[in-house]
Structure 1
């Protein structure tokens, strides 16, 4: 196959069908993967980012797989290692799997306690303890399976799990709400203009707010680069969308968020979410979460609204 190196889109064409097949094949594991990432990170935004990075790595690594592999374990392993690597980069202290004297392991049902303590886990448990405890207690992996995922002995996993349980019992509940981030006057003005254009269903009005080199990330699906491209594709499709909707600004999990609200069965529901980054009064990046059903559901719960049902793929 001859590929024009000046036009990598040609190389991407045959990959799109393969990517769609991959996305469809892992749909059964997407809800639990997102929930796992949420409980690891403690933030719906960070969870969605971790899921996205996990799926990109999983797909890009397919050519390197030469043996049968369990899809769920494969995804959870990548998510776990990716998150631990992120923790290393910010110099979070890691626990080792190696112990000279392994503590005794006694099976105890702590799943309800773990679920109720997720906020505390995020703040207090070291990364490896958190990963192992979540995999075993919440997502049903056996200690042996977790050991296979991380290349550790079953005994080492049990020891680490025991330490996590002990630590969990020591943690005192400390409820903390999300801080409301201050929005600059520049952000406020640009967001207001975006909302006004959106609610007029005016794609040209929105395009005027975009930087010439804007990037639009339709999370899990596609990326667009440049104002002309965004105007020709995403904004044109949005202008033709038959759903009646309006946009509002809400602080969701610490970030000013464009919430698209539509009417569904005579009640209001979350239709989409956008995060925008602004520089010098122009929108330089857009993240579009249309194909992120778990995140949309979490936002709807936060806003006490319904949510539009959504697929993972186009």
Structure 2
């Protein structure tokens, strides 16, 4: 007789397989989806959250459709737009907008994409106005495509564009650097000492650890699992075999060694950077964000398989980097 636990385990295997096939199909659209979300949210972390939520919603919705999706690109934009506007309406203030740190060199500002400057202007627009302006002026969608993406009429799009373009303004921004929590230093020390026990001891018992988009773990034991644990895997050299990993073409020049961790100020927060040895020097191949409660960690997000986030953060920090693709499973042919 089956049990709920066994049924869920069997169901989970099937869902993982379907989810991976779904991500394989939509992988070519991931950079553009991230770029759209980035314009809306003005934060790499919020942009990746919105992109991941969009993919998850699309995956669930696909299971309820009885007809083909005629325009997958427009469909993703529509889902992302609806998710973001719903959130913005619920919270009348936009927590997804991050402020620029002070004392940024002119060279660093020049190194940012034009999107960054444009995004600063978009902060002043309503959710629908911002989405309409981005879809029209950045992505070049037709009025009809925008109306479909925003679930409105062509007349509504024209009105939103008129209002949005008329209200664009450059807001003042300022912020103060925060002091890195001591637990981040403790995490780096434990990681660089290769002390898995010390790493997991920094977690609350109900902590959540993610490799964004591909792995979710709860508690202190799962991250330390030598077979599937995210902490155990990050401590080890990058590999690729029949089970997956990082494709060989993305590992060119990589020296098979374990990474080292460092704490890095970024805008108004702090990150963990993970440096991997290459023939031409150390390169960042992943970044982590850490949420803390007192001296304990409540959430870790590892962006190893989010090349868009790694690229943006490292280019803004002006540190050398390499990306790892969007998935760990082997390509299906």
Query: In which range does the TM-score fall when normalised by the shorter chain?
Result: 0.7 to 0.9
Larger-Rg structure: 1
Does the CA contact (< 8 Å) of 1:269 and 1:300 recur in 2?
no
SS in 2 for 1:26: helix
Does the CA contact (< 8 Å) of 2:129 and 2:163 recur in 1?
yes
The answer for unaligned runs of 5 or more in structure 2 is 95-112, 238-255, 329-333
What is the CA distance between 1:249 and its match in structure 2?
1.0
What is the CA distance between 1:265 and its match in structure 2?
3.5
Superposition TM-score, scaled by structure 2 size? 0.80
Q: How does 1:115-130 map to 2 (within 5 A)?
A: 116-122=117-123, 124-130=124-130
Structure 1 position 79 matched with structure 2 position 80: yes
What is the CA distance between 1:175 and its match in structure 2?
5.5
SS in 1 for 2:323: coil
Matched residue, 1:181: 178
Matched residue, 2:91: 90
2:216 aligned to which of 191, 204, 223: 223
Q: How does 1:1-314 map to 2 (within 5 A)?
A: 4-7=3-6, 8-69=8-69, 70-92=71-93, 116-122=117-123, 124-168=124-168, 171=169, 173-174=170-171, 176=173, 179-183=176-180, 187-188=181-182, 190-232=183-225, 233-241=229-237, 242-314=256-328
What is the CA distance between 1:50 and its match in structure 2?
0.9
What is the CA distance between 1:214 and its match in structure 2?
2.3
What is the CA distance between 1:155 and its match in structure 2?
2.5
User: RMSD value over aligned CA atoms?
Assistant: 2.2
The answer for unaligned runs of 5 or more in structure 1 is 94-111
What is the CA distance between 1:178 and its match in structure 2?
5.1
What is the CA distance between 1:92 and its match in structure 2?
4.9
Q: 1:59 to 1:194 in 2, by over 3 A?
A: same
For residues 26-73 of structure 1, what are the alpha-carbon distances to aligned partners after superposition, in whole Å with 9 as ceiling and x for unaligned?
Answer: 111111111111111111111111111111111111111222211111
Q: 1:23 to 1:157 in 2, by over 3 A?
A: same
What is the CA distance between 1:208 and its match in structure 2?
2.4
Q: 1:235 to 1:65 in 2, by over 3 A?
A: same
SS in 1 for 2:191: helix
Aligned positions, number: 287
What is the CA distance between 1:121 and its match in structure 2?
0.9
SS in 2 for 1:19: helix
Matched residue, 1:106: none
SS in 1 for 2:56: helix
Does the CA contact (< 8 Å) of 1:203 and 1:231 recur in 2?
yes
SS in 1 for 2:207: strand
Q: Which moved more, 1:83-92 or 1:34-43?
A: 83-92
